[in-house]
């Protein structure tokens, strides 16, 4: 779902790198790798969360299409992603935050630190198998009509 937030103009201008925090869940990274390969997107996993912002700067406006962070991350840590959000925006990319609905009841809303899209699953609330438990929210600058539909099973979530 994170890759579904790639703005069409950025994608078409040759921006091909999507940077992912190393503290994103391994199963999420695996799905991203599978999806990115088929669309010619270069998925890069940052060396560490400490180097994440400098890696954004190194990729810069010529290459970076977006970044994904997890909040809280796979280790349960609550990172401060405001600096990363500012650098992704400066490079003309979009920051996607994978999160947990229940955690968001207690945490600072990702939009307040600059997230362009927040997505996740509500499976933990007991939705039956076979029903889509994916959810997504975007800022007013990103509309579903402006995104590349890379995730067909979840495309209806972005279109509603």
| CATH code assigned at 16 | 3.40.640.10
Q: Which two tokens stand for residue 119?
A: 């997505």
Task: Check residue 120 and give its pLDDT.
Answer: 85
User: Do residues 97 and 115 lie in contact, with contact meaning Cβ atoms separated by under 8 Å?
Assistant: yes
User: Do residues 75 and 26 lie in contact, with contact meaning Cβ atoms separated by under 8 Å?
Assistant: no
pLDDT over 70 (residue 140):
no
How many domains, in total, are found in the chain?
1
Question: Looking at the DSSP assignment, which residues form a beta bridge with residue 134?
Answer: 121
CA dihedral 82, 86, 88, 94 (to 10 degrees): 80
pLDDT over 90 (residue 143):
no
- Expressed as residue numbers, the domain containing 62 is 2-159
Angle between helices 82-90 and 52-63 (to 10 degrees): 20
From 85, 72, 60, select the one nearest 139 (Cα to Cα): 85
Task: Check residue 134 and give its pLDDT.
Answer: 75
For the whole model, what pTM was predicted?
0.79
């Amino acid at each position: 779902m994170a890759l579904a937030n790639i703005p069409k103009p950025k994608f078409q201008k040759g921006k091909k790198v999507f940077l992912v925090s190393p503290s994103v869940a391994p199963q999420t990274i695996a799905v991203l790798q599978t999806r990115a390969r088929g669309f010619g997107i270069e998925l890069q996993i940052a060396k560490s969360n400490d180097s994440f912002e400098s890696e954004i700067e190194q990729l810069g406006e010529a290459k970076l299409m977006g970044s994904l962070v997890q909040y809280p991350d796979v280790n349960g840590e609550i990172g401060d992603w405001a600096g990363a959000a500012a650098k992704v925006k400066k490079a003309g990319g979009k920051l996607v935050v994978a999160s947990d609905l229940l955690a968001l009841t207690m945490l600072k809303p990702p939009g307040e630190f600059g997230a362009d899209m927040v997505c996740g699953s509500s499976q933990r609330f007991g939705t039956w198998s076979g029903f889509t438990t994916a959810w997504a929210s975007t800022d007013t600058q990103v509309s579903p009509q402006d995104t590349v539909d890379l995730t067909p099973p979840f495309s209806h979530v972005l279109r509603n």
